[in-house]
Amino acid sequence: MTKLPIEKGVRFKGYEDELQGVKIGAAFLLKEINSCGPKDTTHLHQELLPKLFRKLGKNTWFEVPMNVDYGQATEIGDNCYFNHHLSIGDGALVKIGNGVIVGPYVGFYTASHPLDSVERAEGWQTAAPIEVGDNVWIGANVTILGGVKIGANSVIGAGSVVTKDIPENTLAYGVPAKPVKQIK
C-alpha cells in the first residue's frame, strides 16, 4: 500500500506514479460502486466499499454516485449516512466519527496548492487532515477544507464553507462557516 501524505504540510506531487496507481485503482472501484442499482445494496456495502476505504464502520450507508480520490486515507465510523454526490479529496487523512449524517453534494477537500505559480505548474501540493466528531450533521452543499476539525454533536448548515475548526455542540453556517449558537 502506498503511503499517502497524511501529516499536515507534507509537500507532494499528485501525479507521481505511486499516487496515480492508487488513484486509478480507486477510480476503477468507484466505477463499479457508482454503477450499483437499488437492488445491489448488499454487494455495494459489504463487498465494494470496504475495499475502497482505510476503515469503514458497521451500519454505514452510502447513496451513489460518489467520488473519492484515494480512499486509503479515509476512515469512517459506525452508523453514518452519506447522501448522493459525496466527494472526498483524501490526499491527507479524512476521519469521520460515528453517527455522522452527510447531506447531498458535500465535499471534504484536504489538498491545497501553492500560491506561487511556478510551484503550482511543477505540480506541488500539500494536504491537511480533516476530522469530524461523532453525531455531526452536515447539511447539503457543504465544503469542508483541509486542516479543519468539527467537534462532536455539531451541525453545519447547508451551503457552508468550513475553513476553521468548529467546537463541539455548535450550530455553524455561512461562507465562511462561523459558530452561531451552542446546542444543548
Is 43 catalytic? The answer is no
- Cα separation values, 19 from 3, 24, 30, 93, 94, Å: 9, 9, 16, 15, 17
Q: Write b or e for each residue in 140-160: b if 16 or more Cβ atoms lie within 10 A of its Cβ, otherwise e.
A: ebbbbbbbbbbbbbbbbbeeb
What pTM did the predictor assign? 0.93
Catalytic residue among 43, 45, 85, 113: 113
What pLDDT is attached to residue 2? 47
The full set of domains in the chain, from first to last, is 10-182 (2.160.10.10)
What pLDDT is attached to residue 76? 98
What pLDDT is attached to residue 18? 79
What pLDDT is attached to residue 1? 41
What pLDDT is attached to residue 4? 60
Cα–Cα distance for residue pair 93/56, rounded to 1 Å: 14
What pLDDT is attached to residue 132? 98
List, for the chain, all residue ranges whose pLDDT scores fall below the cut of 50.
1-2
Cα–Cα distance for residue pair 176/155, rounded to 1 Å: 14
